[in-house]
Amino acid sequence: MHNNINKYERFHSKTKAQSRIISENNFTYRHIIYFINKYLKKNANVLDIGCGAGTVCFYIAGKGNKVLGFDISPKAIRACQESSLIMGLNKLAKFKVINFPEQTVKEKFDLIIFSEVIEHLQNDNLALKKIYNLLNKAGTLIITTPSLHAPLYRIGYATGFDERVGHRRRYIIEGLSKQCGKSGFTIVETQGIEGVIRNFLFLNPVAGRFVRFIKFFMSDVVTFVDNLTIPIFGESNIIVVARKSS
């Protein structure tokens, strides 16, 4: 556990407080934001597991919803708390240092965001069972995770990245859907997202420097071209939306 904490503390060593809520077409978060908008109800109580810098939490809180962010990194949570004060969202957006799934809370939620986290966990089945218990009746879970079919992974380009950031495994839609079903969930929707262009931008440190310049209409253009590569080469990431069935 301590090794994991140290790893993510190093990862968040440069994480800083934010002062603005992201837009819907933010290049980094646009896929998860699309699904959040689709399934987020008014006055919802939301949990973001592995919230990192809290970017998604602030987007949700900015719409008037209560949101709790978990992260294993104290540095990330301190940055989140500072950001919530700067943006005046501290009454809606709360944050806790939690080593999930070993640690959790008793509160119940209408929507749980589990984005780019499950691949890091030693016991993914335990995590899904804990999430099921954290949801209100008919509550929704949104999972995003790297795809085993990712073209850059299949040629070995992403292997070093996976080791560096602590990925224990990758998933396919069918396999992850089956795991969710065994934990009691009903699958609502699945989709392969992120083409080879976008994946390269996030895997390559040099190319990644240009991500912050992909704004406004350029985000739409690059995403459109990137989406064209998915039917040809395969998806780099997957989304599974599941609902608590009882």
d(CA 87, CA 54): 12
* C-beta of residue 89 within 8 angstroms of C-beta of residue 119: no
Mean pLDDT across 51-72: 97
Mean pLDDT across 130-139: 97
* 70 has a pLDDT exceeding 50: yes
Percent of the chain's residues with pLDDT above 90: 91
CA 5 to chain centre: 18
pLDDT, tens digit, for every residue of 150-161? Answer: 999 999 999 999
Q: Which fold has domain 2-244?
A: Rossmann fold (3.40.50)
* 11 has a pLDDT exceeding 80: no
At 2, the pLDDT band (50, 70, 90 cuts) reads very low
Q: 217-233 and 196-203 helices cross at what angle (nearest 10)?
A: 110
Mean pLDDT across 164-184: 96
d(CA 4, CA 39): 31
Cα-based distances in Å from 191 to 94, 119, 147, 234: 30, 17, 11, 11
Taking Cα atoms as reference points, which of 102, 115, 127, 2 lies closest to residue 50? Answer: 115
What integer pLDDT is reported at residue 3 of this predicted model? 53
* 1 has a pLDDT exceeding 70: no
What integer pLDDT is reported at residue 215 of this predicted model? 92
What integer pLDDT is reported at residue 245 of this predicted model? 82
On average, the pLDDT of the chain sits at 94
* 4 has a pLDDT exceeding 70: no
Mean pLDDT across 16-38: 95
* Residue 86 DSSP one-character state: H
Q: Cβ neighbours of residue 109 under 8 Å, at least 6 residues apart?
A: 45, 46, 47, 68, 134, 135, 136, 139
* 13 has a pLDDT exceeding 90: no
Neighbours of 95 (CB within 10 A): 23
